[in-house]
Structure formats: C-alpha cells, structure tokens
Amino acid sequence: MSEGPVITKRRFIAGAVCPACSEPDKLMMWSENDVPHRECVACGYADTLNEQGLSVPRELGTRVNTSALKVADAKVQAVQFFPNPKLKKKPDEQQ
C-alpha cells in the first residue's frame, strides 16, 4: 500500500460559477483524502470544502502567522520638496 494522499481525478462542474470572478463553467473540483477542493481556472481562486459542501474560511492574517516585515531597500532616498517662489501669489491678487 502507498502512504501518499489519495487524489481523485480533477473534473469541471457544469453550471458552477466562481465565487471570486463570477465566471461560469470555470470551476475544477477534486478530492484529497476525501476532502473536496475547488479551483477556478480563470482567476486562480481556490478553497477547501467541508462535509456540508460549504467553503472553509482561511485563517485571517495576524502578526503571529504572517512573515516578518521586509528590510527597507538601501537604494531608496527621501525627497524634500521646497515651495517655488515664482508661484507665490502677490498680496493684491488675493480676494
């Protein structure tokens, strides 16, 4: 016997509409170890379904389960803007 996951053949579901992009007939379904999965071939949306056929929500991103902040790029420089004195309004032009 093999110890790997049991994966069924991927199939398209006729009339199914993608919950993300609303494209009809683009959802592909398959099962891994009796857990149904679906994926949209148009937009790449993918999720897992529970026993009732409802989408299992993904875990929300928090400071604990997300990666650390990226290190700032050394090539980035701060820019300071100075007012242009030629664009300054004269006192008699103000209303």
Q: Is residue 41 classed exposed, middle or buried when 0-12, 13-18 and 19+ CB atoms within 10 A define those classes? A: middle
Note the pTM of the prediction, 2 decimals: 0.53
Domain boundaries, the chain: 1-53
Query: CA 26, 32, 38: angle at the middle one, nearest 5?
Result: 20
Q: Class assignment of domain 1-53?
A: mainly beta
Q: Is residue 84 classed exposed, middle or buried when 0-12, 13-18 and 19+ CB atoms within 10 A define those classes? A: exposed
Residue 41 has pLDDT above 70, yes or no: yes
pLDDT the model gives residue 39: 92
pLDDT the model gives residue 22: 92
Q: Confidence band (pLDDT; 50, 70, 90) for 25?
A: very high
Q: What does 56-82 look like in DSSP terms, one character per residue?
A: PPPPPP-TTTSPPPPPPPTT-------
